[in-house]
Copies of this chain bind each other. A is one copy, B any other.
Amino acid sequence: MGAFALHPQLAADTIEVGNLPLCKVLLMNDSQYPWLILVPQRPDIREVYDLNSSDQQHLWQEVTQVGEKLMAHHRGFKLNIGALGNMVPQLHVHVIARQTDDPAWPGPIWGVNPAEPYSEQALAGYLTELKQLFL
């Protein structure tokens, strides 16, 4: 069992916001939705139940707290939480604040529209907001 390393696909698709006690918090580089991804910083984890029970508890606490803060910050209509991992096997949990006028509503966001990356300026401002919110 090696050290934790972020899966290259997650690294390519996201920008790092920072680290919580267990999870790395990533911003999906898609300006269509407030879309975060939490990755437990443990090596070789594919499923939630591969974590020990203390880590499982911390994962869900961090997911729920990040979700609540993201919803409050964006006045979201509905929180979406998803742990799929069909494409990227490293355990990661999607946390998305949905709005009734977002491009995928009311369907799930995965695989619907190609990502629309943030502009450099928008990204810098949003990252500052997110760091203040979570870290």
Q: Which of A24-32, A36-44, A82-90, A117-125 contacts B (4 or more CB under 8 A)?
A: A82-90
Question: B56, B106, B108: which contacts A108 (Cβ < 8 A)?
Answer: B108
List chain B residues, Cβ under 8 A from A85: 78-80
Q: A61 — which chain B residues lie within 8 A by C-beta?
A: 56-57
The prevalent SS among residues of A at the interface is mixed
Q: Are B56 and A60 in contact (CB under 8 A)?
A: yes
Write the A30-58 contact mask toward B (1 if CB under 8 angstroms, else 0).
00000000000000001111000000110
Chain A interface (Cβ within 8 Å of chain B)?
46-49, 56-57, 60-61, 64-65, 67-68, 71, 78-87, 89, 98, 105-108, 110-111
